[in-house]
């Protein structure tokens, strides 16, 4: 269950509504993803190849540490599929990911408090900051939230 909540937040941060046609091992026109120089703009302003490089350069290293510090066993193999699921191996990184647990904010009792606190205090704000998005709040209801990665229970 905790892995599901974690995946939701990570997916939100990684997501793009546009389907990707480049596989996770592909590189952009600038060569290796590690060599792509990224502009200092929010994630949603990046071109497709830049988004792939951004995820590899910034998101995966930062989130891998956060996930593995939280649960080294469950997240020993951290990568694109951790958040984007099996579709990542085919070059599709759509978010939110409907394969992640569906959230019911009226009843989150099925998740461990430790996992919810970790998502709230580490995963969510880190992902929002990496993407340069303001976080969800009452004052900012369109901000980065759990629902960028997860879908809501009907």
For 48-87, how does the pLDDT look when each residue is reduced to its tens digit (9 = 90+)? 999 999 999 999 999 999 999 999 999 999 999 989 999 9
Q: Tokens 């993407």 correspond to what residue?
A: 131
Domain boundaries, given as residue ranges, for the chain:
2-25+44-148
Classify the C-alpha dihedral 134-140-142-148 as positive or negative: positive
Model's pTM, two decimal places?
A: 0.76
How many CA atoms does the CB half-sphere of 64 hold within 13 Å?
13
Across the range 12-16, mean pLDDT stands at 42
CB atoms within 10 A of CB 11: 27
What are 89-120's pLDDT values in tens digits? 999 999 998 888 789 999 999 999 999 999 99
How many CA atoms does the CB half-sphere of 112 hold within 13 Å?
9
- Cα separation, 128 vs 13, in Å, equals 6
Contacts of 125 (CB under 8 A, 6+ apart): 135
CB of 66 within 8 A of CB of 121?
A: no
Contacts of 73 (CB under 8 A, 6+ apart): none
51 vs 6: which has the higher pLDDT: 51
């Amino acid at each position: 269950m905790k892995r599901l909540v974690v995946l939701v937040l990570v997916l939100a941060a990684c997501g793009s509504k546009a389907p990707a046609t480049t596989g996770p091992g592909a590189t952009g026109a600038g060569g290796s993803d590690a060599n792509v120089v990224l502009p200092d703009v929010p994630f949603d302003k990046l071109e497709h190849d830049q988004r792939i490089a951004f995820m590899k350069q910034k998101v995966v290293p930062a989130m891998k540490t956060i996930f593995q510090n939280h649960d080294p066993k469950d997240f020993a193999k951290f990568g694109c599929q951790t958040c984007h699921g099996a579709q990542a191996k085919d070059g599709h990184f759509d978010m939110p990911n409907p394969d992640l647990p569906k959230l019911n904010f009226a009843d989150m009792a099925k998740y461990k408090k430790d996992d919810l606190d970790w998502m709230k205090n580490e995963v969510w704000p880190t992902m929002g900051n990496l993407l340069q998005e303001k976080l969800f709040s009452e004052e900012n209801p369109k901000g980065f939230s759990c629902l960028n990665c997860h879908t809501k229970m009907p």
